[in-house]
């Protein structure tokens, strides 16, 4: 089993949500860290642990980012970290798997299952280390994590959808022995 350290400069957790039921608003968290313990010959023995700095949210609109950090949404003053820790990993096919684990957001922990794809290790052209890539996708109901802020709209129900699409792309470097 090898340990891979997530490279925060080349990793991101992105999200999108329906806005006014007519378009999707997208954003990302730029501070992602953690480790992946991975053995391609023993996928079920592998594990992943992620920490996302909730205040690193960036949607491209400062006013929206400031609102996302308030108690209406992420409440970053009280809950600065979004975390995920795997509890089970299953192989689906070469380069693909299902990861079940606990996602903690706003102090609420729920078990989720995400589909993951991963690349074989490659040699870093700027050094002598090895790196791997991992991509995960999930759809979450934000209200399951206490994020219930909304505004009624006369023709379409509410301003914000309940479902949030989450995409996490990680680049991880082999830890030294």
Count of the separate structural domains present in the chain: 1
pLDDT at 88: 97
Beta strands at 157-158 and 2-6: parallel, antiparallel or unpaired = unpaired
Domain housing 104: 2-174
pLDDT of residue 175: 94
Residue 65 φ/ψ, nearest 5 degrees:
-60, -45
Q: Which two tokens stand for residue 171?
A: 């680049």
Gap between the terminal Cα atoms of the chain:
11
The rounded mean pLDDT for the chain is: 94
Tokens found for residue 32: 């992602």
Structural contact between residues 147 and 107, judged by C-beta atoms closer than 8 angstroms:
no
> Which residue shows structure tokens 């830890």?
175
Q: pLDDT tens-digit profile of 101-127?
A: 999 999 999 999 999 999 989 998 887
CA–CA dist 78, 150 (Å, integer):
20
CA 103 vs CA 40, 98, 120, 155: distances in Å: 24, 15, 26, 34
At 60, which CATH number?
2.40.128.110
pLDDT at 152: 94
Q: pLDDT tens, 51-103?
A: 999 999 999 999 999 999 999 999 999 999 999 999 999 999 999 999 999 99
Q: How many other β-carbons are positioned within 10 Å of the β-carbon of residue 170? A: 25
Q: Are the C-beta atoms of residues 169 and 11 closer than 8 Å to each other? A: yes
């Amino acid at each position: 089993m090898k340990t891979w350290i997530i490279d925060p400069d080349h990793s991101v957790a992105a999200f999108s949500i329906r806005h006014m039921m007519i378009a999707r608003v997208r954003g990302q968290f730029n501070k992602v860290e953690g480790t992946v313990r991975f053995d391609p010959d023993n996928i079920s023995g592998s594990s992943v642990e992620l920490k996302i700095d909730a205040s690193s949210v960036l949607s491209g609109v400062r006013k929206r980012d400031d609102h996302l950090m308030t108690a209406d949404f992420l409440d970053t003053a009280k809950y600065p970290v979004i975390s995920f820790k795997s509890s089970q990993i299953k192989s689906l096919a070469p380069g693909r798997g299902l990861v079940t684990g606990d996602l903690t957001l706003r102090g609420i922990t729920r078990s989720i299952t995400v589909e993951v794809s991963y690349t074989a290790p490659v040699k870093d052209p700027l050094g002598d280390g090895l790196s791997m890539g991992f991509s995960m996708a999930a759809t979450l109901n934000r209200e399951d994590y206490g994020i219930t802020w909304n505004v009624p709209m006369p023709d379409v129900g509410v301003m914000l959808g309940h479902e949030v699409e989450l995409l996490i792309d990680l680049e991880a470097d082999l830890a030294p022995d």
